[in-house]
Structure 1
């Protein structure tokens, strides 16, 4: 630093400019008041200046640098007040975690970043204490900075190496001799224990969350197995049930148990928008509804139910009462005649059962064929009562469908 004061001065005061810009942005950052986002500039400035943050921001920028001109050497320790600005880093990580789809990644990154910063600080303090006690005066301090030990990169690497060994408690370091050496070493060990506990706790939490969903799924499957075993269900049916669970897990239907619980807590308006985003395109593929008004489709989307069928499952049978219609989201199905011959093959976007749902005649409410799932199939189901109710609310759609 003494060799390149212009470069260090440029870096220091560039950082100060960033801090000043952050204060300006803080006076223009909105906040909630009685559930309403405040954007009035005058109120934003008042809110910032009345907060505790302004005190730390002012301390960070106190011009202690003028002491540089009254001493023969530059002492970076004079600018230690800038470290109070670290709270903004925590604000950044907290904001990112609330908005990202991978919060665990950012939590681990935050921990690594914090560990890296602590290592830098302890390395600098170690070198400073070594200079205060006397370089090379004992085995604990940094050796006399002459020759290769006087090289800047060597000073940095050896100090960081010492700090890393001490904070992670994974290596042998020379025993301290003086009181200040003992105190600083003990402080380093205590910080190291805190870091170790944080890493173990964070990683344990990440692993537990990753396994929680699978544990919930396994519990559901075990309960189903126990239910079927106690009631002497045939092995063939048990196999089909287990295959349904396995497919549902692979497709994410049971993988998102926690997600479904979280979504159920949303207000009706948000749940409606989510349902429209996820299912509306599927409903639009149905030619039967392509001429219907958009609001009618919105109503139907909220009433659709998602079902999964395993290979060779009968979705509907010839002669049964038709109380629902089906829209194929994924997979293939075959339409069978009374003799078992394949009449047609249905695929994604196709639909069936609409005649029985839309007809008011009792005679027309009987299934006219068997429909069987070829492999695993995912279908959206619309109940007759729900469709008729929506048609009453939207007369134009009723005319179009009839």
Structure 2
């Protein structure tokens, strides 16, 4: 048995492992440069982290994975993919080199270098990005930018610790104030500000070379950040950009054809409403490229509420509702539009998703007002008669229509329901 990748526990676990990896990446460099005493708390924390990193390896072998668009539960295939991608990083992060070295060596330099291997666990943040994007329902560009800024802050922290390490004397006692000053130097250097109040000792080549490396990386990082943010902002709402382009073309056409200002304003108001309610697209366009089974589920999820309110469909089988839902067509009517008129031949019934309509009869005037969730026109659909009333939109209305041909075609497939 394997664990579902979208399992709530697995998602929480990945978030928890991300926190532990971040703690390791922040605390260990500080411990090296500040040289503070390792207390009992650190031993317990190290044991918990080691245990959790070991459990993470176990879950890596037992969590289903996606291969060529399919979710795989075969543990052999899962293991093969895990070995190729994250196993080595997880294994190195799990091995408690500090415990091993406490037994076999007392060299603090080797202890530091080997213990730092555990920090590579933070690179699994790249693997968690897709999961968080799905769960948080954020644009991928926002998640990508968040991960990027996360690593920028970590790298700034590492560079700050490195600067403090090479500037300090071997016997010098350092504190948190020294780290803050080092962080200040790193931030001003990486952001290419460089006030010059903290500079490397020109007599020490190591400090000069370190400063040059940070300056070069800072200039590159600064340029990358600007370019990446511009790219993210451009991709945050591609749909809106395309929609605005479409409106621009329509406005250019209306001006070229000398359309009245009132008509131009009416068209623009309509498109503004279309964006606010549907983000510029309709259900038919969104599901047209999906496989048929997906289209059924998609349409059923969107439209089952309005269909189930129709009395004749109240006790209908779910498969009938699914078939009918797939055959609904969206419409938008603006204030004052006549949806249909009394006396004309009726071929459709309508469902109100949003908006308000009035029902008018020649003899009685307004006889009803219908709004969200209501339906009308079902008599003509079922009995093939002329319309007995006029229906007019009182504001912007999002409607779905079901035509008689589609209705009869679906019903004919279910003889029991047809009776």
| TM-score, structure 1 normalization | 0.81
Q: 3-state DSSP class of the match of 1:251?
A: helix
Aligned counterpart in structure 2 of residue 112 of structure 1, from 117, 131, 149: 149
In the TM superposition, what whole-angstrom CA distance separates every residue of 1:26-60 from its partner, at most 9, and x where no partner exists?
A: 222333567654434455445545x3644444444
Residue 370, structure 1, aligned to residue 390, structure 2: yes
In the TM superposition, what whole-angstrom CA distance separates every residue of 1:215-237 from its partner, at most 9, and x where no partner exists?
A: 32222223333444455555554
Mapping of residues 220-239 of structure 1, within 5 Å: 220-231=246-257, 233-239=259-265
Aligned counterpart in structure 2 of residue 162 of structure 1, from 169, 175, 185: 185
Structure 1 window deviating more from structure 2 (95-104 vs 298-307): it is: 95-104
Residue 386, structure 1, aligned to residue 409, structure 2: no
Residue 188, structure 1, aligned to residue 214, structure 2: yes
Q: 3-state DSSP class of the match of 2:339?
A: strand
Aligned counterpart in structure 1 of residue 123 of structure 2, from 87, 101, 106: 87
Instruction: Quote the residue 2:329 is aligned against.
Output: 305
How far apart in 1 are the matches of 2:251 and 2:107?
81
Instruction: Quote the residue 1:140 is aligned against.
Output: none
How far apart in 1 are the matches of 2:326 and 2:159?
58
Aligned counterpart in structure 1 of residue 343 of structure 2, from 304, 319, 324: 319
Instruction: Quote the residue 1:15 is aligned against.
Output: 49
Instruction: Quote the residue 2:275 is aligned against.
Output: 249
In the TM superposition, what whole-angstrom CA distance separates every residue of 1:46-87 from its partner, at most 9, and x where no partner exists?
A: 5545x3644444444273654456447575334122233333
In the TM superposition, what whole-angstrom CA distance separates every residue of 1:322-356 from its partner, at most 9, and x where no partner exists?
A: 22221222222112234793233222333222232
CA contact (8 A) 2:97 2:114 kept: no
| Structure 1 residue 301: Cα displacement | 0.5
Higher Cα radius of gyration:
1
Instruction: Quote the residue 2:9 is aligned against.
Output: none
Instruction: Quote the residue 1:129 is aligned against.
Output: 166
Instruction: Quote the residue 2:136 is aligned against.
Output: 100
| Structure 1 residue 154: Cα displacement | 1.4
How far apart in 2 are the matches of 1:352 and 1:261?
25
How far apart in 1 are the matches of 2:412 and 2:77?
50
| Structure 1 residue 382: Cα displacement | 1.0
Structure 2: tracts of 5 or more residues without a match: 1-34
CA contact (8 A) 1:325 1:381 kept: yes
How far apart in 1 are the matches of 2:67 and 2:234?
37
Aligned counterpart in structure 1 of residue 227 of structure 2, from 191, 195, 201: 201
Structure 1 residues 225 and 63 mapped into 2: Cα distance closer, same or farther (>3 Å)? closer
How far apart in 1 are the matches of 2:243 and 2:80?
52
